Amino acid sequence: MYSSYPESYFQKLNDYLKWQTNRIRSLENKVELLSKELESLKKQRGVTIERIEYKFDQLKVEKLDGTLNVGLSPAGLGEQSVQDMEVGGETIRTNAARSESFARIQQQVTDYLQQSCPAELVQLEEKYQVKLDEDATESIIGDLQGQIGQRIDYYLKYGIDPDVVILTTEQEQGITDKVIRDIRLGLEQYFLKRKSEGGDPNESAGGE
């Protein structure tokens, strides 16, 4: 008994089955790749001090509950109690010098955010063809400003020998450069993500 379906129907069905099979294989490959990456991440330590530059989660600037996430949020010097120690019969405050370094670094990064970052945002708008309004620009800079302390704490805690109490000018500048580099990297990722989504960055950067 001959089928009542035309030959084109079976051809389309066959094509669909082939597409579905290829799709399943592609998804299986992705799952396998993700599983390998997960295993690799499990084996890695959270931070590798010998090469601190990018063993941790890179700066992320994306909107989550109205806040731009600037990388990780480690417990920093701001949460430590200042310890007293005896040196040559004299009691000193061991974290005082680092607190002063923190303040100087924070000021330098703040100056960058206020003086240079707005112009760099304009350049990124032109580069990625993503337009920000004034409120979105202020929101981004404000969110970054509120989180640089955590980033500075991180580099002070893991990037400098804990036995070093007084940082050199070069060490302070090195941390400043790293934090600014992280901000720039994160902003690049933010604009790239907005461009790929084709959405309105002003909605994502402005809070609600």
The DSSP code for 165 is: -
pLDDT of the residue at 62: 46
Return the residue matching tokens 């089955």: 17
How many C-beta neighbours within 10 Å does residue 205 have? 24
Amino acid at 111: D
Instruction: Note the pLDDT tens digit of each residue in 181-195.
Output: 999 999 999 999 988
In the block, residue with structure tokens 């004034």: 134
Angle among Cα 163, 174, 83 to the nearest 5 degrees reads 30
With CA atoms as reference, report the closest residue to 136 among 208, 75, 49: 208
Ranges of beta strands (E only) in 37-141 are 63-64, 67-68, 84-87, 90-93
pTM: 0.55
pLDDT digits (tens, 9 = 90+) for 72-82: 333 333 333 33
Radius of gyration of the chain (CA): 25
Sign of the Cα torsion 50, 53, 55, 57 reads positive
Band (3; pLDDT cuts 50, 70, 90): low
